[in-house]
Each structure stands twice: as C-alpha cells, then as structure tokens.
Structure 1
Amino acid sequence: MLDIKLAKSKMENEEGMNHLWIQLFRDGKVQSQKSEIQIRLPKGIYRSHNLNGLVENEREHIVVDAPDQDVIIEIYTQASIQCGEMTIVVSLLTAETTVSKEISIQVVEEDEMDMVEIDDQVVERIKELSHATPPCEEGTNFVSIQPRILEKRDNEFSYLEKKYRIDY
C-alpha cells in the first residue's frame, strides 16, 4: 500500500539535498479514494512542496485523490546538523486506516559522500517528472504580456533640456 525510497543513501549534514519518493498502491480492502500523506522529518531536515503539483492542505499534508499515485519531495538541510542515522516517517491517512512506514537516512560530513549509493529508479522518476508538461485544463487561458521597451529619443525640446538642465 505504501513504499518509500530515497534517491541517495546518504545526505550531507550541511546544505545537503536528497529526494524522497513515496509510492501508493491500491489495496483491495480500502474503498476510500481520498487520502493524505503526512511526512515527519528529523530536526534540522526540511522539505519543499511536492514536485508532482499535488495540493497540500493547511496541516502540510499532501492530498491524494487516486490510489495508484506517487509523490516526490525534495528534502534538504539549511544549516549544519548533527551527523548520524535519522528516521523519516511517512504516514498515509485515510478515513478507515492509517499506514506508516519509516526509512533511515544517514547524515554525514561532506568528505564521506564519496561512497554514496544512488537509486537509479528514483533518479529516472525525477527526470520524467521534470520533463513532463504541467496538466492543462480546457478552461485555462494563457496570457502573454509583452514588457515595455523604453527608448531614448530626441524630440523638439531636448536641446532646451540639455542647455538649461541643472544636475545637482
């Protein structure tokens, strides 16, 4: 019902970045279509909005309306944090049940990033998502506004301005 993967096995403790891939699978017992994904990150690790463009509510839960979807989230550190193994908890909340999964992430110094393992499947999914065009509804109109271009011109009064202008 819920699967979690990280793009990299390790993350730098200072200005580090990684991607979290959350996959949802259909469960025959659960009939509810609408659900929410809650992500609890360790102290010092932050996340951006999901890269799939799904709606996030006021509790910062990702609203999912189809059972077979995936969500990609960029996680990062803003300042130096303590190194070590940390746990990310992802919960799928539906009207009937709550399913939680944990994934460990190793936070290391920059010089220890040489032995990092990269999950090619996650990287390919991120590439697919970055090349995908955003969904366009039929009622959507695109408006293109041309910027003004200012040109310096000489007119009949410009010689007077040049002659009598006082620059302080």
Structure 2
Amino acid sequence: MAHHDDQEFTEYFTAKRDSVRRTAYLLCGDWHRADDLAQTAFVALHRKWRKIRDRGAVDAYVRKTLVRAAIDESRRPWRRERHTDEVPETAVPGTGGGDSLAEAVSTRADLLAGLARVPPKQRAVLVLRYFEGLDVASVARVLGCSEGNVKSQTSRGLANLRAVLGEEVDTRG
C-alpha cells in the first residue's frame, strides 16, 4: 500500500472506529465480540482500500461487511446463547444516582437485552434503520436484499422486540 493510501486509511480508521464499534455492539450485544466484528470489517476494508475509487461509499462498505460478519458469527454453533436459571443481582430502586439516570440505564439495558433475543437479520435491520438512521433503500443495499424484505424484516423484528420487552416499542425515532 502506498504511503498516501496508508495515511488515508489511518485517518478513516481513526475517525470511524468508535462508531463502527458501537454499531457492532448493537448488532451482537457484547463488547468483546463487537471489537472482533469491527476488526473484521476494518481488515476487509484495508484489503480493498486501494481499489475503492468512490471514498463516499466507504461507510456503506464497512456497514455491509460489519452486518455480514455479525450474521455469519451468529450462525456458528459455538456463538449461540446459553440460558441460565440464575438471575443476576438487581439494583434497589432509589439507591445512589438520580432516578432518571437509573431509568435510562435500565431502559437501555432492557433494549440491548431485547435486541440480543431478536434473530440476527431482524436485529441488523433494526440497528441499521433505528440506530444508524438509514432509510429502507440504504438498508436494502447494505444487506443485499429487496426493499420489501427490509420492510418485512423490520415489521417482524419490531414484533419480536415488542414480545421480548413485553411493551410497546416507540419507532418514531
């Protein structure tokens, strides 16, 4: 890789690593796996860096690589979740910190736990639509499927998320 290309890649990596890592976390629900997924996406990007002519398409390439890696990883038998009968300790309401902060953390934890129980492709659609803010056409391009498929996966994913959370999910985002 030429010095100029290497420098451009380094600048892109530095600017995007945190957002790619956050997206990976939303896709898999585990920071260690998110690091692995982000690394996979950046390694793939590094391999193709010199061949990419449209630098405006780099974000889409990374997103697509990230989503595919997350879905591939979820299909591997050793990655399947294991349920346990033990319930983790829960915080006692009103102890330490503000109630609004505790509520926000609780809501976020519930949402992340709910996302982890939604099938991988539906989770990817929900993350790309509601956390990354992509429209239906952009999600379809990232996932390599039709817009109708994105719409149906969104509908099913929201229904599954509602079922898991046991309440209405606000999608007006």
TM tier, smaller: under 0.3
- Please report the TM-score for the alignment, with normalisation by the length of structure 1: 0.22
TM-score calculated relative to the size of structure 2: 0.22
Higher percent of residues as strand: 1
Larger radius of gyration: 1
Structure (1/2) with the larger helix percentage = 2
